[in-house]
Structure 1
Amino acid sequence: MVEKSFTITSEAGLHARPATSLVNAVNSFTSDVNLEANGRSVNLKSIMGVMSLGISKGTSVKVSASGSDESEALAAVERVMKTESLGE
C-alpha cells in the first residue's frame, strides 16, 4: 500500500469538476484507491463518494492505493492535484 497526504488549497475546495478529474484519473487502474477526509474514507473511483465528503479549502486529505499498479495510481492522483491546482 502507498499513500500520500494533501492539503486542499483551491478556494472552491474539491468541487464537482476536479472531483470528476480525480475519479477519471484512477478508474483505469486495478488497484483499490481510497480518499480519506474528515474522519471518513471513500472509494476514489466513486464520484458520489468523493462528493459526499464535502471537502473545503484547508482540508487535509489522504489518498491510499493498494494493488498491482498502486504507485501509478497514486502518481495519477498527484498529477491531477497539480494540474487542477487542488492541493499540495
Structure 2
Amino acid sequence: MKEFDYTIQDALGIHARPAGQLVKVVKGFSSKVTLHKDGKAVDATRLMSLMGMGVKQGDALHITVEGEDEAAACEALQKFFTENL
C-alpha cells in the first residue's frame, strides 16, 4: 500500500470539475484509491461521495492507494493534486 497526505490549496476545494477529473485519473488504474478526511473515508471513483465530503481549502486529506499498479497510481495522483487542487 502507498499513501500520502495533501492539504487542499484550491480556494474552492474539491468541487464538481476537479472531482470529475480526479475520478477519471483514478479509473485509469486498477488500484483502489481511498480519500480520508476527519475520520471519513470514500472510494475515489465515486463522484458524489467525493463531493459529499465537503473538502474546502486548507483541509488535510490522507490518500491511500492499494493494488497492482499502486506505485504508478500514487505518482499520478500526487501530480494531479499538486497541479489541480
Query: Which TM-score band (shorter chain)?
Result: over 0.9
* Corresponding residue of 1:30: 30
* Corresponding residue of 1:18: 18
* Corresponding residue of 1:59: 59
Alpha-carbon distance in structure 2 between the residues aligned to 1:62 and 1:21: 18
Structure 2: runs of 5+ lacking an equivalent: none
Does the CA-based 8 Å contact 1:27-1:45 persist in structure 2? yes
Does the CA-based 8 Å contact 1:31-1:68 persist in structure 2? yes
* Corresponding residue of 1:81: 81
Alpha-carbon distance in structure 2 between the residues aligned to 1:38 and 1:54: 11
Does the CA-based 8 Å contact 1:42-1:49 persist in structure 2? yes
What TM-score, normalized to structure 1? 0.91
* Corresponding residue of 2:42: 42
Q: CA deviation at 1:20?
A: 1.1
- Report the number of matched residues: 85
Identity %: 34
**4+ residue segments displaced more than 2 Å:** none
What TM-score, normalized to structure 2? 0.93
Q: What is the root-mean-square deviation of aligned Cα atoms in Å? A: 0.9
